[in-house]
Amino acid sequence: MRTFHNALFHPSDVTEPLFNNRTAASQNRRPPPKPSSLVEGLDTSIVIDPVRMHMTLGVMALELDEDLPAEHDKMSTRPDIVTKQDESVQSTVMADFGASVALSSQKVVSSSTTTLTSTGASPRPRKTIASAMALLSSLKPQISEILDGSKGVMIPLETLDVLKTQAMRLPKGKVDKVAGNAEAAGKTEVGEGGKNEAGSLSVPNAEGNGSKDVRSGKVGAGVLFIGPSEFKGEIEDEDRRKLKLVTGLIHKTFRDHGYITDNRPLKLHCSILNASHRRPPKNRGQPFSYTDILALEPALRKLGADPRPPVPTYPDNTDNVTTNAGTMDSSRAGRSDPESLAPPSLMDDAEEGATQLPSSDVLDLEGESRSAPRKPRMPRKAISVPAPLPINLGTYKVDTIELWKMGSFGPDGGYVSCGGIELA
């Protein structure tokens, strides 16, 4: 995996190792992010250290097990309402629920946050680390029945895919030079221009000429991940059947009990790039170009992938600048990605290290809700995203499911475990 990460950067981009051993004491002394000249929107801050890689089953907001301060007696925790509070009232731990995979010495997940809400007449049962562990342990008999004497589950790393897709926007003051598409580019005439970071020709973007907020023709993403292919229909392979049943049981149980609040189907994935890690934090909404990654044959070969990736295109070019990089391979046609249209969720904002979740409401200490000013979201147009790219990184045996504290750093730079169960 380290060789793949290194292949996303030109040798002149990074002059020191991408990963150093990071502990809790050293995490705040990281060098400034270094941008890639090969992939638009990529820098070293969003690359996942192999020692922290994991297979995600879900993300939860949990209260600490110790008693809350007296002023919290009339409040409980609800994961979907979050507000920034003083350190003295922080009581919730964001945790990722997943299985470690043997890509390196793996642990799981990231960040702390605070949640407060009024309880009304009947306070909800507290969702704590201890209660989550008790629920997980209660599933052991059912898991043992599914495994039928075998130990652990087998997870193939056979696809490369993305989450949180969106159209890449042109750098401010530039539009792509696309043959025969001057109209879509705001009717800007070709003048003094040059190559931008992604290698495409560009021309100045005249203000007020209709070229405001022009799409670049590239597909952007917030997460690049590897994992097994999606489970569809009847599964004949015994190892895959067990993997589907075990992970499905755990995910459904925690969702039914209100621990996992994301209602989208389970997507087993191991993130290898995540823009929620981007530094400085104000830039965390910036995507990286998936199109540029698919064009890097040497990098894709490191994953055992087909070195002839398709080029994403938009289904509707009425208000988009099209790409002149080629056409999509019809054998691997893209899909209109529902992730680009999905509402924000706990998983979107919390996974892998976001330290603050957005909220449409802020709750005062009396439990009264008041609307926080928020810029209205504009609906996104569906974009055509390539189908998952087949890769070959082997199959790994996973024999534990564990709960890890987000944002933590252990002695080896991995995450700190809150406990787990063996799959047997």
pLDDT at 290 > cutoff 90: yes
**What value does the mean pLDDT take over residues 347-361?**
39
pLDDT at 325 > cutoff 70: no
**What value does the mean pLDDT take over residues 45-55?**
89
Place 215 in a pLDDT band, splitting at 50, 70 and 90. Answer: low
Closest listed residue to residue 40, CA positions, set 294, 270, 300: 294
Which residue has better confidence, 133 or 106? Answer: 133
Question: Which is it for the CA torsion 113, 45, 106, 261, positive or negative?
Answer: positive
Closest listed residue to residue 78, CA positions, set 91, 66, 97: 91
pLDDT at 293 > cutoff 50: yes
Least confident segment among 35-44, 110-119, 258-267, 280-289: 110-119
- Cβ contacts of residue 76 below 8 Å, gap of 6+? 117, 119, 123, 124, 126
What backbone phi and psi angles, to 5 degrees, belong to 300?
-65, -35
pTM equals: 0.68
- Cα–Cα dist 285/266, whole Å: 23
Q: What is the pLDDT of residue 1?
A: 86
What backbone phi and psi angles, to 5 degrees, belong to 135?
-65, -45
C-alpha distance from residue 316 to each of 37, 71, 143 (Å): 29, 54, 47
pLDDT at 280 > cutoff 50: yes
pLDDT at 236 > cutoff 90: no
Q: What is the pLDDT of residue 247?
A: 93
